[in-house]
């Protein structure tokens, strides 16, 4: 992935692309992979970094949605469970099986959740994971010894998927390039060029240089998540509002709060959402809230009442005292829910996706969730072929391996490969890079000093930062510390303290001045303050 080369191709192409996608989150990247793998000419532009918004701020679960089962949305659960299984197979270096414990404090909840989770297992069919089962109090505490024991009756264990969301997004962008497509970050759509009332091109601005240009395409897809309505208004200022945004907040705690591998799931909190406490990268993510919001922002801010809500609800189930000082990072994300007609309770709005075609031919895909991104992409590219008069080609993504998912993407094979080629201990998290991990290893092999950690509190190395700058298209310190690595989401103070180092590495590799590095480091430190609890 080379941004300069990709920009040159975007500007110089004379013939229209088959498909142009606006939006570089899960949905947009999924659409680009689907279209490019079918053999269409594809371009994708993203106003910020890939997965800057919602797609890097999830609960890190690949799941069918237990609470949707309770709502009676069987179709959505069936679809999501199938996609969960496919994603486990297509991105094995990023998606793992995760056990969940539902603690039971009222005896009648045991049969209720036990039966419900057996239905959940059944719906997964051949793509299912391990079967759920009832647990005694002692077995429940064996899995989560930090659970509150007062009144604990037992539990139910079931299995879902877990993943690293922004790493998957970067791998999807790489997959686009692997199939001769183009994806570029920090390019903003500023307007449409129309002929006979139909959109023919998109006017763009390169955020870095300020240069403007147009991209012609036979079909334009709006896959901008919470920004869906702003793009639709560029097409038609009088268009109706489509998105009801909901904010979800997560707190990140030290691993000691859930010291073993099982996660905790509480099916119903006071705001109707599920509460999760999920082990992730040797930390624990606790969340989430469901707060309707009117303001749409690239950097949503956790509200004080959301933070207190999570602390209060988590404290009911964890025996270890939980305080604000334990929180190592807090992050907020906005869900792009397709607006319903009734009520203000966003927890009840369907997470299924919607496709809309405007009079001008703008094709909009909205709603959905990470787990179903592949199915969403297949649906919208099928529509795009018809709308743009393109050759109808079969979808290949059901079994298409994501970039990095080669044979050496599997952790066991990875570990054997690493130990055979380096005497030094290789961090286990290198398995997240899949088949690219050996290339990062080669960087360390050439210069052992690059095995040094970016910050002593987290495992990420200088070699990973260098690899990402050269091959994963980061442009800012935030891109590396928030999404290429997950430092900002795991330990905001550690990320804050690493800003100058990463800014200097970016400046050296991209040819920026010392002044740029100083300003960029300071900009990131200000951003990181928003992830710290004061």
- C-beta separation of 258 from 141 below 8 A: no
* Domains in the chain: ranges and CATH: 3-54+166-242+350-387 (3.50.50.60), 244-338 (3.30.9.10), 407-529 (1.10.8.870)
Token pair, residue 486, equals 């997950």
Q: Tell me the pLDDT tens digit for each residue of 13-23.
A: 989 999 999 99
Q: Averaged over 138-154, what is the pLDDT?
A: 92
Q: 414 versus 199: which is more confidently predicted?
A: 199
- pLDDT tier for residue 71 given thresholds of 50, 70 and 90: low
Token pair, residue 475, equals 């442009």
Sequence-separated (6 or more) residues with CB below 8 Å from residue 416? none
Select from 318, 233, 228, 214 the least CA-distant residue to 276. 318
What pLDDT, on the 0 to 100 scale, is given for residue 425? 52
Check whether 67 has a pLDDT greater than 80: no
Token pair, residue 394, equals 């079969």
What pLDDT, on the 0 to 100 scale, is given for residue 58? 95
CA distance 15 to 322: 59
Check whether 342 has a pLDDT greater than 50: no
Q: 441 versus 269: which is more confidently predicted?
A: 441
Q: Averaged over 100-116, what is the pLDDT?
A: 81
What pLDDT, on the 0 to 100 scale, is given for residue 419? 45
Question: Burial letters for 237-264: b for 16+ Cβ neighbours within 10 Å, e otherwise?
Answer: eebeebbbbbbbbbbbbeeebbeeebbb
Check whether 408 has a pLDDT greater than 50: no
% of the chain at pLDDT higher than 70: 91
Sequence-separated (6 or more) residues with CB below 8 Å from residue 267? 66, 67, 70, 102, 113, 274
Average pLDDT of every residue of the chain: 90
Sequence-separated (6 or more) residues with CB below 8 Å from residue 217? 16, 17, 18, 19, 20, 43, 201, 202, 388
Sequence-separated (6 or more) residues with CB below 8 Å from residue 193? 199, 200, 201, 202, 203, 214, 216
H or E element at residue 161: strand 154-163
Q: 411 versus 273: which is more confidently predicted?
A: 273
Q: Sign of dihedral through CA atoms 256, 260, 263, 269?
A: negative
Count Cα atoms within 13 angstroms, Cβ side, for 436: 20
- What pTM did the predictor assign? 0.93
Q: Averaged over 481-508, what is the pLDDT?
A: 98
- pLDDT tier for residue 113 given thresholds of 50, 70 and 90: confident
Check whether 285 has a pLDDT greater than 60: yes
- Taking the alpha carbons at both ends of the chain, their separation in whole angstroms is 38
Check whether 414 has a pLDDT greater than 80: no
Q: Averaged over 218-240, what is the pLDDT?
A: 96
Check whether 83 has a pLDDT greater than 70: yes
What pLDDT, on the 0 to 100 scale, is given for residue 118? 86
Q: 123 versus 396: which is more confidently predicted?
A: 396
Select from 315, 327, 316, 258 the least CA-distant residue to 99. 258
Select from 249, 343, 244, 323 the least CA-distant residue to 289. 249
Check whether 512 has a pLDDT greater than 50: yes
Select from 341, 279, 350, 264 the least CA-distant residue to 65. 350
Q: Tell me the pLDDT tens digit for each residue of 430-478.
A: 999 999 999 999 999 999 999 999 999 999 999 999 999 999 999 999 9
What pLDDT, on the 0 to 100 scale, is given for residue 25? 97
Q: Averaged over 288-315, what is the pLDDT?
A: 92
Q: Tell me the pLDDT tens digit for each residue of 362-401.
A: 999 999 999 999 999 999 999 999 999 999 999 999 999 9
Find which of 52-56, 273-277, 416-420 is predicted with most confidence, using mean pLDDT: 52-56
CA distance 34 to 38: 6
Check whether 407 has a pLDDT greater than 70: no
Sequence-separated (6 or more) residues with CB below 8 Å from residue 82? 124, 125, 127, 375
State the pairing for strand pair 95-104/263-266: parallel
Please provide the DSSP assignment of 145-158 as one string. Answer: TTB--TT--EEEEE
């Amino acid at each position: 992935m080379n941004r300069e080369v990709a920009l040159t191709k975007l500007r110089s192409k004379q013939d229209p692309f088959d498909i142009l996608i606006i939006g570089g989150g899960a949905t947009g990247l999924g659409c680009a992979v689907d279209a490019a793998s079918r053999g269409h000419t594809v371009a994708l532009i993203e106003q910020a970094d890939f997965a800057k918004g919602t797609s890097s701020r999830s609960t890190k679960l690949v799941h069918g949605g237990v609470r949707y089962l309770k709502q009676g949305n069987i179709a959505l659960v069936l679809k999501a469970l199938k996609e969960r299984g496919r994603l486990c197979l297509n991105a094995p270096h990023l998606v793992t099986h995760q056990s969940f414990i539902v603690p039971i404090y009222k005896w009648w909840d045991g049969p209720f959740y036990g039966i419900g989770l057996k239905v959940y297992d059944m719906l997964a069919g051949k793509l299912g994971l391990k079967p759920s089962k009832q647990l005694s109090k002692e077995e429940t505490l064996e899995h989560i010894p930090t659970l509150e024991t007062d009144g604990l009756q037992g539990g139910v264990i079931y299995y879902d998927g877990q993943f690293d969301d922004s790493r998957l997004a970067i791998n999807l962008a790489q997959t686009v390039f692997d199939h001769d497509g183009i994806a570029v970050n920090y390019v903003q759509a500023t307007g449409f060029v129309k002929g006979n009332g139909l959109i023919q091109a998109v006017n763009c601005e390169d955020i870095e240089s300020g240069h403007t240009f147009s991209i012609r395409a036979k079909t334009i897809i709006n896959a901008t998540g919470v920004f869906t309505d702003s793009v639709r208004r560029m097409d038609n200022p009088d268009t109706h509002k489509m998105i009801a945004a909901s904010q979800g907040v997560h707190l990140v705690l030290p691993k000691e709060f859930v010291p073993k591998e099982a996660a905790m799931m509480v099916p119903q909190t006071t705001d109707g959402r599920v509460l999760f406490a999920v082990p992730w990268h040797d930390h624990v993510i606790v969340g989430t809230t469901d707060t309707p919001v009117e303001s749409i922002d690239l950097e949503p801010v956790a509200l004080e009442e959301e933070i207190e809500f999570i602390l209060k609800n988590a404290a009911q189930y964890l025996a270890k005292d939980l305080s604000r000082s334990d929180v190592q990072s807090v992050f907020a994300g906005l869900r792009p829910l397709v607006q319903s007609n009734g009520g203000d309770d966003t927890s009840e709005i369907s997470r299924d996706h919607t496709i809309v075609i405007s009079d001008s031919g703008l094709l909009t895909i909205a709603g959905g969730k990470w787990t179903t991104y592949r199915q969403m992409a297949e649906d919208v590219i099928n529509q795009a072929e018809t709308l743009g008069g393109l050759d109808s080609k079969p979808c290949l993504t059901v079994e298409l391996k994501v970039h990095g998912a080669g044979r050496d993407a599997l952790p066991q094979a990875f570990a054997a490969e690493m130990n055979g080629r380096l005497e030094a201990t290789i961090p286990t998290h290198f398995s997240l890079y899949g088949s690219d991990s050996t290339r990062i290893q080669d960087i360390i092999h050439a210069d052992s000093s690059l095995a040094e950690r970016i910050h002593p509190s987290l495992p990420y190395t200088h070699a990973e930062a260098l690899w990402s700058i050269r091959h994963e298209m980061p442009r800012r310190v935030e891109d590396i510390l928030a999404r290429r690595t997950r430092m900002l989401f795991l330990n905001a103070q550690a990320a804050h303290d690493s800003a100058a180092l990463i800014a200097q590495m970016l400046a050296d590799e991209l040819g920026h001045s010392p002044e740029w590095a100083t300003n960029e480091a300071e900009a990131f430190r200000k951003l990181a303050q928003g992830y710290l609890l004061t």
